Amino acid sequence: MALQTHPTVDAHPYLTGNYAPVDREITETDLPVTGRIPDFLDGRYVRIGPNPLGTIDPARYEWFLGDGMTHGLRISGGRALWYRNRWVRSADISRRLGERWPGGTHRAGFDFPANTNVIAHAGRTLAVVEGGATAYELTDDLDTVGSFDFCGTLRGGYTGHPKTDPKTGELHAISYSPLGGPAVRYTVAGVDGRINHVVDIPLPDNTMMHDFALTEHHVIVFDLPVVLNVRALGSSLAHKLAGRALGRLARRHPVPDMISDMLWRGSARMSPDVNWPYRWDQNHEARFGVLPRGGSAADLRWFSIDGCFIYHTLNAYENGNVVVLEAPCFPTSYEGSSLPFDASPTLERWSLDLHTGAVRQERIDDRGQEFPRIDERLLGQPHRFGYTVGFDAAAVGEVERPQMLFKHDLVQQTSQTTGFGPGTQPGEFVFVAGDPEAAEDDGVLMGFVYDGSSNRSDLVILDATTLEAVARIHLPTRVPNGFHGNWIPAEATVER
Ligand SMILES: [Fe+2]
């Protein structure tokens, strides 16, 4: 991937091609299929991404702040029963659509139409996002129930990358907020949907932490050099003055509860008018923190690493006294620009020796790739296979285009590649096991693939062993390039 330039008023890399938003919500039933949908699939595939509603000023647009829109399919009995796309109804989106806000709490963080991930937990479907913004609960049909604060147990925002422990069903998360001061919060939510464990982790600065990692006995904290930068805050003079004063405070101290409450309530009363306030800081030491599960902040052990930024974990696991972490790694991010990706990410492995304190870093693959996924039955455990999306090299001023899917065999140190034809762009692919006892790659991969020639997308289902297509479900629209999705089995949610 090449260095990106700043967006201009005429064109914005995340508002053109298949990064451009769609302008309507669609419900389509009984979708046409090429191939055969495996009978074991009974549930929904739901993916989310930024899809700004209404008129957009390209000079001000930031991809990470685009209004969240879900795209979902209900699959059962070898049929694609429906496709729906829906904006998440924050208070502001509801107002702009001329609707009544479905409801919720204002103590769960900034009111924002979550755009980063869709998960199932405690029988609920949740749209989630980072940066101090609230999670939103959705119905099985992707309508918005309201903002969600884990039954009153979470205050001040969640994360786009919580992790379900496959053995316990508990949901682990690390959250940060521009109002949170120099710290992040580690939480565990039980299968009852209530947070039952909280550890506040002090840091040297107010750090952006998009993801983290979990092993059988440890939590890995990413303290990397993208931090709150007051110069990036606000656009109007009033916002700049207020934002900079608050930003200076929040970089060193948590903002007092009374002010946080006021800001969260205020965020639901007006359209957001802020910029993403985190930037690369080369003076910030990059390090991983290893926290024993159930431990306190005093039990954290820090391991310095070479400066980089990690958006997503592939997996982490333990090998005796060594904690191993695998992830795509960007040399920098947000380096003096409002665009997140400055350079190409490579797939790396870090080995952290808990006895000696030594760190070893090795490169798994130097091709540009992101959106790492595994068979999540092995989350936190040693695993063999990983799946990532490969990107082309962008021309200057353009954004990278997803081009292919990689399957990594991390034991044999080999990889397979599959493409989807000229002019196509795949999104993240998720693994679904053929049955609960199936082998690690015995199942399917599914993800959206955009076809530029038809200007539509398919949900493509691949055999995870061979990467051969077994089914293509043809959608009536395109699905803009976005963020993350998951397969949600029918039994994982309960209509309330
Ligand atoms: Fe992400």
In a domain, 1, yes or no: no
Q: How far apart are CA 87 and CA 116, in angstroms?
A: 13
Q: What is the pLDDT of residue 10?
A: 53
With a cut of 80, say whether residue 224 has pLDDT above it: yes
Q: Counting Cβ atoms within 10 Å, is residue 311 exposed (0-12), middle (13-18) or buried (19+)?
A: buried
For residues 239-258, give the mean pLDDT: 71
How many A from CA of 429 to the centre of ligand 1?
A: 13
Q: Sorting pLDDT into bands at 50, 70 and 90, what band is 379?
A: very high
Whichever domain contains 249, its CATH number is 2.130.10
Considering the chain, what percentage of its residues have pLDDT values greater than 70?
A: 92
Q: How far apart are CA 294 and CA 197, in angstroms?
A: 8
Sequence-distant (≥ 6) Cβ neighbours of residue 475 within 8 angstroms: 28, 31, 83, 448, 456, 457, 458, 459
Distance 39 CA to ligand 1 centre (A): 30
**Residues facing residue 304 across a β-bridge:** 287
pLDDT at 382: 98
Tell me what pLDDT residue 13 has: 84
Q: Which of 105-109, 114-118, 282-286 has the lowest mean pLDDT?
A: 105-109
Q: Minimal CA–CA distance to 427: which of 347, 348, 484?
A: 484
The number of domains in the chain is 1
Backbone angles phi, psi at 111, to 5 degrees: -80, 115
Q: How far is the CA of 114 from the centre of ligand 1 (A)?
A: 12
Please give the Cα distance from 227 to 128 (Å, whole number). Answer: 21
pLDDT digits (tens, 9 = 90+) for 34-77: 999 999 999 999 999 999 999 888 888 889 999 999 999 999 99
Q: How confident is the model at residue 8 (pLDDT cuts 50, 70, 90)?
A: very low
Domain-embedded: residue 80: yes
With cut-offs at 50, 70 and 90, classify the pLDDT of residue 248.
low
Residue 1 — very low, low, confident or very high, per pLDDT cuts 50/70/90?
A: very low
How high is the pLDDT of residue 452? Answer: 95
The pLDDT of residue 485 is 97
Asked, for residue 404, whether it belongs to a domain, the answer is yes
Which residue, among 196, 193, 154, 191, has the nearest Cα to 175 in the 3D structure? 154
The answer on pLDDT for 258 being more than 90 is no
Report how far ligand 1's centroid is from the alpha carbon of 262 (Å): 28
Rounded to the nearest angstrom, the distance between the alpha carbon of 309 and the centre of ligand 1 is 12
61 CA to middle of ligand 1, Å? 19
Residue 75's closest CA among 66, 84, 67, 64? 84
Q: Is the pLDDT of residue 23 over 70?
A: yes
**DSSP assignment letter at 90:** -
In a domain, residue 413? The reply is: yes
- Alpha helix (H) residue ranges in 11-119: 91-96
Round to the nearest angstrom and report the end-to-end CA distance of the chain.
Answer: 45
Residue of 47 and 341 predicted with greater confidence: 47
Burial of 107 (0-12, 13-18, 19+ CB in 10 A): middle
Q: Which segments of 356-420 are extended strands (E)?
A: 359-365, 369-373, 385-391, 402-409, 414-419
**Distance from the alpha carbon of residue 418 to the mean position of ligand 1, in angstroms:** 23
pLDDT mean over 112-135: 96
- State yes or no: pLDDT of 401 exceeds 90: no
CA of 241 to the centre of ligand 1 (A): 31
Q: Are 310 and 327 in contact (CB under 8 A)?
A: yes
Residue 5 lies in a domain: no
Domain that holds residue 181: 13-492
Q: What are phi and psi of 247, to 5 degrees?
A: -60, -40
> Is the residue at 2 inside a domain?
no
pLDDT at 230: 73
Within a domain: residue 17?
yes
Model pLDDT, residue 112: 92
> How far apart (Å, rounded) are the C-alpha atoms in residues 189 and 166?
13
What's the chain's average pLDDT? 91
By residue count, the chain amounts to 496
383 touches 410 (CB < 8 A):
yes
Please say if the pLDDT value at position 7 is more than 50.
no
- Asked whether residue 211 is domain-assigned, the answer is yes
H-helix or E-strand spanning residue 472: strand 469-474
Sequence-ordered list of residues with C-beta below 8 angstroms from that of 27, at least 6 positions apart, any chain: 82, 83, 84
Among the listed residues 152, 28, 142, 155, the one whose alpha carbon sits nearest the alpha carbon of residue 82: 28
